[in-house]
Structure 1
């Protein structure tokens, strides 16, 4: 609820994520991606309302109480690379001490050289420089803070890793190194949900892509087909790719609707050159796309 009115930040979202897989959740800022991640970890504000289920290893994350989430989920079943690392790092403690505490909690290594080595190994995995381990968060750049938060998230080798904009503030070389390390996290019993607006990062490591627009998933596709041939099917998803500098470099016209005032029909219709009167009805996600006129289907009538 915001200003006395309900805002549907995420609605009708459904997907699965198997061990050994990376699903990239992409879309413009404000579409609901980070709200979804916060819901899975019970980090939404107290006035938020949640319906549905999110099963992870037999546990419904959306129904779990705070005690269960704190003791058995966060860091253990589900790791989080946060979008705002400054809010997740303790300001009065060094990065080293926070890494060592996390190692103690999640791995059972308690003290001595093994503890120090495990913390330094976690830092190295996230490309965090050893020379900065004894600094406090306020002494770090945004990019270094992001890498510190990534190191903390990787410590427990959680079965599910949520990486929410993990490349914020990083240059391209570090972006590639970071997402490659996140990809290496994936294994026979581990999966990765990558939340990002960096389509190049998604293309580099994702197995599947889910495109979110105005609180809903509008396309779900294999990454090879999405980034290659035949390409995205939803006009919004195709517009995201066309806006990239190495493609057509053409922005999508218009602005997304306010989440507190979503239209009854297709939320993208006002920005879409394929929209018709049919789009006054909200399309369901069917065969991987929520669109009455997907890009691979010929348009039967001009826009009204």
Structure 2
């Protein structure tokens, strides 16, 4: 709710994420990506309402491979928990950090301002990894190195860090627990290209037989580097869900908005998507992208369902042009 107005920040977002997989959730700022991550961890404002389910199943999942959906979250973990209905005590004591890790979009708001980075790493190592005092110093430095955080800055306070260093500190903290599900919300903000690559490579290494990664990003190059699949969000809805190889290669995105995002890259056509996204408080009844789409017609007055991985009445079917040399 905002000023008495109901805002549907995320609607009917359903997608799978198997253990051992990285799914990249991409889209323009304000489309609802970070709201989705906050909902899964119970970090939405008090006046927010959620519906549906996001389930972490019991460890005896039949086939040992668990899918994630924003309608359900299924990963190989100890006890079954519905993240959208769990109480704060359960989320704080058994979920956050232990079963679902978070690399936050705004690390400065998540780091404790009156404690050094080293102190926060050591506390997290004690709580989540069981590291004892004689080994804490070395373990904290190893955790920092994992996220490319320089050891010489470990004894600094959050306000003494640049945005990029704060981001790396938050990444180091998130990786400590080796949580079955890691939510990385814009983890490369403020980093140069080399550090972007190093950071997403480390996040990818987190993925294993019983661990998965949801990468929330507007950096398509980072998504292409590590994602197995790509989900494109527009105006609070998933409009395309496909394999990363098909998205970045051939046949390319089928939804006009998804294709526009990809074609906006400098190495592609370097052409921006025309127009602006609609206000989430005033979404049209039909396709929210219709006003910006050159393929729209009367059929687009009806809301398209996500069918065959694309929510569009007139999806592209042709092969995407190869990148320019």
* TM-score bracket, shorter-length normalisation: over 0.9
Q: Tell me the CA shift for residue 146 of structure 1.
A: 0.2
Question: What residue is the counterpart of 1:300 in the other structure?
Answer: none
Pick the aligned partner of 1:64 from 86, 107, 120: 86
Q: What's the CA shift string for 1:179-204, capped at 9, x where partnerless? A: 00000000011000000000000000
For 1:190 and 1:252, how far apart are their aligned partners in 2? 35
Secondary structure at 1:93 match in 2: coil
For 1:182 and 1:35, how far apart are their aligned partners in 2? 21
For 1:5 and 1:291, how far apart are their aligned partners in 2? 28
TM-score, normalized by length of structure 2?
Answer: 0.90
Question: What residue is the counterpart of 1:44 in the other structure?
Answer: 44
For 2:143 and 2:203, how far apart are their aligned partners in 1? 12
Q: Tell me the CA shift for residue 250 of structure 1.
A: 0.2
Q: Tell me the CA shift for residue 120 of structure 1.
A: 1.0
Ranges in structure 2 where 5+ consecutive residues have no aligned partner: 58-79, 319-325
1:160 aligns with 2:181: yes
Ranges in structure 1 where 5+ consecutive residues have no aligned partner: 298-304
Question: What residue is the counterpart of 1:210 in the other structure?
Answer: 231
Question: What residue is the counterpart of 1:271 in the other structure?
Answer: 292
1:168-207 aligned at under 5 Å gives the runs 168-207=189-228
For 1:116 and 1:203, how far apart are their aligned partners in 2? 36
Q: What's the CA shift string for 1:125-160, capped at 9, x where partnerless? A: 100000000000111100000000000000000000
Secondary structure at 1:210 match in 2: strand
For 2:85 and 2:141, how far apart are their aligned partners in 1? 36
Q: What's the CA shift string for 1:209-235, capped at 9, x where partnerless? A: 000000000000000000000000000
TM-score, normalized by length of structure 1?
Answer: 0.97
1:296 aligns with 2:292: no
Q: Which moved more, 1:102-111 or 1:287-296?
A: 102-111
User: What is the Cα-based RMSD across aligned positions, in Å?
Assistant: 1.0
For 1:177 and 1:129, how far apart are their aligned partners in 2? 14
Pick the aligned partner of 1:110 from 127, 132, 136: 132
1:92 aligns with 2:114: yes
Q: Tell me the CA shift for residue 107 of structure 1.
A: 1.1
Secondary structure at 2:8 match in 1: coil
For 1:19 and 1:199, how far apart are their aligned partners in 2? 22
For 2:82 and 2:139, how far apart are their aligned partners in 1? 31
For 1:34 and 1:226, how far apart are their aligned partners in 2? 22
Secondary structure at 1:98 match in 2: helix
Q: Tell me the CA shift for residue 110 of structure 1.
A: 2.6
Q: What's the CA shift string for 1:78-123, capped at 9, x where partnerless? A: 00000000000011110000000000110111311x1111111110
For 1:241 and 1:163, how far apart are their aligned partners in 2? 21
For 1:88 and 1:274, how far apart are their aligned partners in 2? 43
Q: Tell me the CA shift for residue 59 of structure 1.
A: 1.5
Question: What residue is the counterpart of 1:14 in the other structure?
Answer: 14
1:73-152 aligned at under 5 Å gives the runs 73-112=95-134, 114-152=135-173
For 1:2 and 1:123, how far apart are their aligned partners in 2? 39
For 2:9 and 2:142, how far apart are their aligned partners in 1? 38
Q: Tell me the CA shift for residue 55 of structure 1.
A: 1.1
For 1:287 and 1:72, how far apart are their aligned partners in 2? 36
Q: What's the CA shift string for 1:31-75, capped at 9, x where partnerless? A: 000000000000000000000001123311111100000000000
Give the ranges of 4+ consecutive aligned residues of structure 1 lying more than 3 Å apart after TM superposition: none
